[in-house]
């Protein structure tokens, strides 16, 4: 393998990894606050892509307007999802909430099939995202350069919010002790809504970027990325935001380097994600950056 080819694969891995990271952040934030795995997160991702598609195709918005509108609507959808499917079960056993999450996921997928149709739709990629950039034998599309930038900006902003702002302080409080947070007159519901909104917003951005990178939509497009990004969050240490980003990059890296070095195993690229998950869970069950699980007494 030539150096140029290796760098090419590395660039692809970086771009795919940061896309995974963007979605994994949503899983990890929601888990951090509510100890809930939002199985519908992948479907929120799908919804973001479709909303942007229809904003362009039906409402004739320019691509950036469509992106903005779709992202905001996706965030609102995430808040609404929590309101309908999870909030009524706030003090129920965790298994009930999990079943509700799985139900919500199936519901969204099937409603999407009815509304959007089961046949794949082609996305018109905006010109700025579709520029071929070449540097020393490595060529990538501009969207693949934009995604890592978005991911790192999102990571920096989120870390700042969580560590430095009042709402971030309240988020950390709610995540460690729900009742104690209530006793400080913290509006727990508002914090949870904020968390879902932020996570869904990032999923929406991720879905749209995905549709620029792989310009085809179908109502089940969120299932596999959703599962993989959940794995990424677990690998990094679920509940830990930098961990989710690290997990996303690891997953993207392993997947594309498999293709690079073991081309005959390309068909098994998804299996490597699960192998990585199993290895990490065996060696460090709390994830790479996750602290030791503190049992509440």
Partner 1 sequence: MLKVDELSVHYGGIHALQGISLEVPDGAIVSLIGANGAGKSTTLRTIVGLVKASGGAVSWNGDRITGLATKDVVARGVCLVPEGRHVFPNLTVDENLILGAYSRKDRPGIAADRDKVFALFPRLQERMRQKAGTLSGGEQQMLAVGRALMTRPRLLMMDEPSLGLAPLVVKMIFDIVKTINAEGVTVLLVEQNAKAALEIADFGYVLETGRITLSGPGKQLLADEGVRKAYLGDVKPVGAVAR
Residue ranges binding partner 1 (CB under 8 A): 166, 169-170, 172-173, 176-177, 179-188, 294, 297
Q: Which is nearer to partner 1, 114 or 294 (CB)?
A: 294
| Closest distance to partner 1 from the beta carbon of 164 (Å) | 11
Q: Which is nearer to partner 1, 1 or 185 (CB)?
A: 185
Q: Which is nearer to partner 1, 32 or 226 (CB)?
A: 32
How far apart are the C-alpha atoms of 82 and 17, rounded to whole Å?
27
| Closest distance to partner 1 from the beta carbon of 173 (Å) | 5
Q: Cβ(284)–Cβ(292) under 8 Å? A: no
| Closest distance to partner 1 from the beta carbon of 242 (Å) | 15
| Closest distance to partner 1 from the beta carbon of 170 (Å) | 6
- CA pseudo-torsion sign 259, 265, 269, 272: negative
CA-based end-to-end distance of the chain = 55
Q: Cβ(276)–Cβ(234) under 8 Å? A: no
Q: Which is nearer to partner 1, 114 or 297 (CB)?
A: 297
How many other CB atoms are found less than 10 A from the CB of residue 257? 16
How far apart are the C-alpha atoms of 131 and 149, rounded to whole Å?
16
């Amino acid at each position: 393998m030539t150096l140029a080819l290796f760098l090419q694969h590395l660039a692809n891995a970086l771009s795919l990894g940061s896309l995974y990271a963007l979605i994994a952040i949503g899983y990890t934030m929601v888990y951090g606050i509510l100890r809930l795995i939002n199985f519908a997160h992948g479907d929120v991702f799908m919804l973001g892509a479709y909303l942007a598609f229809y904003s362009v195709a039906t409402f004739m918005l320019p691509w950036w307007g469509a992106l903005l509108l779709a992202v905001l609507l996706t965030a609102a959808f995430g808040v609404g999802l929590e309101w309908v499917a999870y909030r009524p079960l706030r003090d129920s056993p965790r298994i009930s909430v999990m079943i509700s999450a799985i139900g919500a996921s199936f519901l969204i997928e099937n409603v999407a099939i009815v509304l959007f149709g089961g046949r794949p739709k082609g996305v018109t990629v905006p010109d700025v995202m579709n520029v071929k950039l070449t540097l020393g034998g490595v060529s990538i599309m501009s969207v693949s350069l934009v995604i890592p930038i978005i991911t790192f900006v999102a990571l920096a902003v989120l870390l700042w919010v969580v560590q430095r702002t009042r709402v971030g302080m309240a988020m950390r409080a709610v995540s460690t002790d729900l009742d104690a947070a209530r006793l400080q007159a913290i509006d727990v519901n508002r914090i949870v809504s904020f968390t879902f909104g932020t996570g869904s917003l990032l999923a929406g951005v991720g879905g749209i970027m995905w549709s620029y990178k792989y310009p085809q939509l179908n109502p089940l497009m969120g299932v596999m990325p959703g599962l993989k990004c959940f794995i990424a969050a677990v690998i990094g240490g679920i509940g830990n935001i930098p961990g989710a980003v690290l997990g996303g990059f690891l997953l993207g890296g392993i997947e594309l380097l498999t293709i690079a070095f073991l081309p005959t195993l390309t068909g098994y690229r998804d299996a490597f994600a699960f192998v990585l998950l199993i290895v990490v869970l065996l060696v460090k069950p709390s994830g790479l950056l996750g602290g030791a699980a503190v049992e509440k007494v």
